[in-house]
Structure formats: structure tokens, C-alpha cells
Amino acid sequence: MVAFTNGTAGGTGTLQSTSGYGAKYGELSTADAFTIQKKFLNISKKLITMNRFAQKDVKPLNEGKDVRFRRYERFNVGTSVVSEGVTPMSDTLRQTTIKVTLEQYGAWVPVTDLMLALSTDPLVQQITERQAIQMAEQMDTLAYNAFIGGTSVFYSDGSDYNDSTDVKETIAGHDEYQASGGANVNAKILSATVRFLESKDAMKISSVVKPASGYNTEPVAEGYFAITHPDARADIESIPGFTPIEKYANYGAVLAGEIGKVGLIRFIATTLATPSDSNGGSSNSAKLKELSSGVAKIYRTLVFSQDAVGCVTLSGQDSVVPKVVTPAPTSEDPLGQRGSVGYSYMYGCTILQENNLVRIEHAVSNISALA
């Protein structure tokens, strides 16, 4: 971390200037910049949820912004008999290339000479720690926004999972008619999701990225992983056969935010899985959380299988570039009153296989209305 000189009055700290190291890291030395980078990456890996299920790639410097993921397709399974002395038809090697373009993101916070001189806390350290959290949440949001555009979608309308015109059930099947004797469909939409993924030979996830710097993986029990909003927790916990994490038996690592599992699907809740601003059709019931009067609010749960998505950064550890400018007199700031603490990074995510990622659009229960 950047060096501080502590005063004698209650821990007041001032930032030592490291000017002269060039503009890449502002006034940070390379060693200080790498220390902050490590903190950024450690914190961000602990918080990131979406891309823990993604293929990872690192774009080298000076090779442009585009990254291409290449998928080689399976050979068809033939059942034709090979006739004696007759050469059979050859197979064709087919590939699919998916391109993702890296974009630059970043943020900065202004600081002043008085802030650094009078604060009783190490401001640069406080700012960079919060910027690391900000970056992790921003990366998760960018990944989520890329992933919710998938074409494999189920809608919780209670009858036809392909009908998007009337989303008015929860993911557990508690529809608006249940209070008047309607049937609970017992989360059949989850069974339909698993059936769809298995029918497409979507492999179950058996390892995820470790919550630490670097991209090493750790093993987990085989299954599909769903990322949902915490508002859906009560509905998920009400599903017959739900197993909370406290009752996992030799089930491998529990991931941050994980709440439990239903069958082959393990659920992770995060507020970054934001609901849609659109509505799910008429609900006519206080049993569901509503976007507006009589209109159900739509939530989106993403169910991942192996190699469904990919995310790319730039040049490994250098993907995060911290920059600190301490207040110093210049022609534009004659009294040396203004400085800044900021960072930038290059990032991009994409769906690699549409059939390996399912989006479930559903409503959630209005908790205040539950008996």
C-alpha cells in the first residue's frame, strides 16, 4: 500500500509523494501499484459471483481489443455399416467462433490536500478498498447484463413455459390462484430446466474459480448453479425437496451467497441479479410482489452449466490499473489543493453456448401477504 507518514495528533496521516514514476500509475511506484492491484484482485474475486462459472481468457497487451473463443462441435454419431472394401464418408470438423470485445471501465475519487492532512484515517487505503468492492460489483453487473440476453428462456406462467405474455407464478409454482384452491406445481419449471440442459448434453459444473487472486479452480459437487435475487429466497426454500446449505453432506465447497439446492440445482442469491423493469402481465392478486397495481414484477434466475459463458481481462494482473495523484502545485492547481484516487480495467463477457445457459423469468411472493 502507499506509504503514509503518521502525525502525533490522533493518527493523522499524509500521503508521501512518489512523483516522477510516470503517468501509468499516476504518482504510484510500480511496487505500490502492484500492491494495490493485488488488493483489488483479492477483494474482487471474493465478491464476484457471475464469472466464477465462466471460461477465463487473458488478452495480451498490444494485440487489439477483440478476443475469440473457438468451440469445436461434436461429430455426428453414425450407425451405418461399413461395407467391405468401401471407404465410408468422412466426418467434417466444424467449429464455432464467438467474438467478445474488451471495453475500458473505471472510476475515480477526488481528494484534497486538507483531506489528506486532517483525516485521522488512511484515506487512500479506505478509498482503494471500496473501489475494489465497486469494481467487483461492476464486473458482476456487466457479466449479468451480458448473460441475461440468452435465447434459452422459460417463463413461470404455470402452463406453457414458452409463453412470455403472462408471467405470474413464482419459481416455486405458488401462483395467484393457490389461495382459492389452485394447484401448486411444485417447481416443475426447475425440472423442465434440468431436462432441457440434460437433453442438450450440457455438462454439469464440477469446478469453479477460487475466491482469490489468479484463476485457479476448486472442485465442487457436480450440478447446475442458479444465480437469483434474494427476494426469491422464501419461494425457493418452500420448494419440496429443498436442502439448505446447513444440511449438505460431503457436498464440496459452499459458495459465497449460496442458500441451498433443489435436486441438481444449487442456488446463489445476490442483489446484483436485478429484476426486470418490465411486467409479467396481470396478476390480480396481493400474493405476488408487483411492479404496479395488478402487475407482477419479473425476476430473472440464471441457471449455468459447464462452459456456458466466457469472460476476458487484459494482460493478467495488469487488468486493474490503479492511479493515485497527490495534490501538488501545477499551473492548473497553483496551491496544490486537488488530487485523485482511481482505477481502470479492460473487461468483456459473452455467452459461449446458448443451450448451456437457461434464464427463468418468474414472479416472487409478496412476503407481507403470506399467511
Instruction: Kindly state whether residues 165 and 205 are assigned to the same domain.
Output: yes
Q: pLDDT band at 317, cuts 50/70/90?
A: low
Q: Are residues 42 and 136 in the same domain?
A: yes
211/178 same-domain check: yes
| Strongest mean pLDDT among 47-51, 95-99, 101-105 | 101-105
**Does 104 lie in the same domain as 248?**
no
Q: What is the pLDDT of residue 179?
A: 43
Choose between 300 and 33: higher pLDDT: 300
Of 138, 118, 112, residue with least CA distance to 343: 138
The structural domain count of the chain equals 2
Q: What pLDDT, on a 0 to 100 scale, did the predictor assign at position 226?
A: 96
Same domain flag for 179 and 114: no
**Among 213-222, 318-327, 353-362, where is mean pLDDT lowest?**
213-222
What does the H/E/C string look like for the chain?
A: CCCEEECCCCCCEEECCCCCCCCCCECCCHHHHHHHHHHHHHHHHHHCCHHHHEEEEEECCCCCCEEEEEEECCCCCCCCCCCCCCCCCCCCCCEEEEEEECEEEEEEEEEEHHHHHHCCCCHHHHHHHHHHHHHHHHHHHHHHHHHCCCCCEEECCCCCCCCCCCCCCECCCCCCCHHHCCCCCCCHHHHHHHHHHHHCCCCCEEEEECCCCCCCEEEEEEEEEEEECHHHHHHHHCCCCEEEHHHCCCCECCCCCEEEEECCEEEEECCCCCCCCCEEEECCCCCECEEECCEEECEEEEEECCCCEEEEEECHHHHEEEEEECCCCCCCCCCCCEEEEEEEEEEEEEECCHHHEEEEEEECECHHHCC
The answer to whether residues 166 and 286 belong to one domain is yes
Whether residue 236 is found in the same domain as residue 128: no
Please list, in sequence order, all residues whose beta carbon lies within 8 angstroms of the beta carbon of residue 277, skipping any fewer than 6 positions away. 291
Residues 216 and 168 in one domain: yes
Q: Let me know: does 101 contact 348? Beta carbons within 8 Å.
A: yes
High-pLDDT (> 70) share of the chain, %: 76
Structure confidence at residue 177 (pLDDT): 40
User: Which one has a higher pLDDT value, 241 or 42?
Assistant: 241
What value does the mean pLDDT take over residues 314-341?
A: 82
Mean pLDDT over the full length of the chain: 78
User: Taking 60 as the threshold, does the pLDDT of residue 130 lie above it?
Assistant: yes
pLDDT of residue 95: 78
* Within-domain flag for 339: yes
Residue at 74 is within a domain: no
231 and 258, same domain (yes or no): yes
The answer to whether residue 93 sits within a structural domain is no
**Closest C-alpha among 158, 146, 202, 186 to residue 361:** 158
> Which residues, at least 6 apart from 156, have a Cβ–Cβ distance to it below 8 Å?
167, 168, 169, 170, 171, 173, 189, 360, 361, 362, 363
Q: Which domain holds residue 344?
A: 4-69+100-145+312-348
Residue 207 sits in the same domain as residue 236 = yes
In this prediction, residue 147 carries a pLDDT of 95
Higher pLDDT, 224 or 99: 224
C-alpha 340/C-alpha 15 separation (Å) is: 12
Q: What is the pLDDT of residues 6-56, one digit of tens each?
A: 444 444 444 443 333 345 667 666 766 667 777 777 776 667 888 888 888
What is the pLDDT averaged over residues 210-226? 74
Do 136 and 203 lie in a common domain?
no
Query: In this predicted structure, which of 142-151, 228-237, 332-341 has the lowest mean pLDDT?
Result: 332-341
- In the chain, pLDDT over 90 holds for what percent of residues? 25
Residues 12 and 120 sit within 8 Å (Cβ to Cβ): yes
Q: Which of 6-10, 62-66, 334-338 has the lowest mean pLDDT?
A: 6-10
Question: Of how many residues is the chain composed?
Answer: 371
Cell numbers placing 296: 407482477
pLDDT exceeds cutoff 70 at 57? yes
What's the mean pLDDT in 232-246? Answer: 91
Grid coordinates given for 101? 470485445
Q: Is the pLDDT confidence value at 238 over 50?
A: yes
pTM (two decimals): 0.79
pLDDT digits (tens, 9 = 90+) for 268-289: 999 999 988 776 666 556 678 8
Mean pLDDT is lowest, of 129-138, 166-175, 306-315, for 166-175
Are 34 and 133 members of one domain? yes
